[in-house]
Amino acid sequence: MNKPLRIALTKGRLEKDTVGLLEKIGYDCTSIREKGRKLILPVPDGNLEVVLAKANDVITYVEHGVCDMGVVGKDTIQEMEGKFYELVDLGFGRCRFALATKKGQSFYGGYNVKTLATKYPNITRKHFESKGMDVDIIKIEGSVELAPLLELADGIVDIVETGTTLKENGLEIIEDNICPISARLIVNTVSMKMRQSEIENFVSLVEKNL
């Protein structure tokens, strides 16, 4: 048997959804469900080895070839812009990027350059460039909702699922179709050449069980 295909999973919700998909395919994922503190876990009946990592690191591991495949959100893919193949939209982990401001505050209109706070400067910049708008972008690592409340920014661009957090902080969505997000299966470019049949077989099983 060839060495296992190594797949990096984004820790948390995407990890759980991917494990559910692997189990739907028929793989025994006991080692992942009972992982303890381990970060590299075997799935012997699938000839897989699962690596648990943060989203940005999933892309780094796949891009550099230490993992053959990865499961990561489209948001991270667009923000990091790595070199790999994006093969399958897995359909779970759905959410969207939205522009939000303080309630009742206008954003579009006027000639002043607007300031936006976000964890995703690349996605934000591209979106407003596509509108022909020049914006100042401030990168925030924590709760971006604070930026308009502290008058650091005119608005925020962030991932939204329900919008509850925004409402509780006096913010409202004024544009919510910036970019739809879901989990994607990505593959290392060299692995796709060297282990094409194995990867294609795996992808086929994934697609049949979505």
| Common-topology check for domains 5-93+182-208 and 95-180 | yes
pLDDT at 2: 81
Residue range 67-76: mean pLDDT, rounded: 97
Query: How far apart are the C-alpha atoms of 117 and 111, rounded to whole Å?
Result: 19
Kindly list the domain boundaries of the chain, sorted by start residue: 5-93+182-208, 95-180
Q: How confident is the model at residue 36 (pLDDT cuts 50, 70, 90)?
A: very high
pLDDT at 12: 95
pLDDT at 202: 97
Please state which of the four CATH numbers 3.40.50.920, 3.30.70.2170, 3.40.190.10, 3.30.420.40 is assigned to the domain occupying 5-93+182-208: 3.40.190.10
pLDDT beyond 70 at 60: yes
Percentage with pLDDT > 70 across the chain = 100
Q: State the alpha helices, DSSP H only, in 41-183.
A: 55-63, 74-80, 121-130, 146-149, 164-168
pLDDT beyond 80 at 1: no
Residue range 132-154: mean pLDDT, rounded: 95
User: Can you say whether residue 170 is alpha, beta or left, with left for phi > 0 and alpha for psi between -120 and 50 degrees?
Assistant: left
Tens digit of pLDDT for each residue in 107-137?
Answer: 888 788 999 999 999 999 999 999 999 999 9
Please state which of the four CATH numbers 3.40.309.10, 3.90.550.10, 3.40.190.10, 3.40.50.1370 is assigned to the domain occupying 95-180: 3.40.190.10
pLDDT at 109: 80
* DSSP classification of residue 45: G
pLDDT at 179: 86
Q: What is the pTM of this model?
A: 0.90
- Closest by CA position to 192, among listed 63, 102, 95, 82: 63
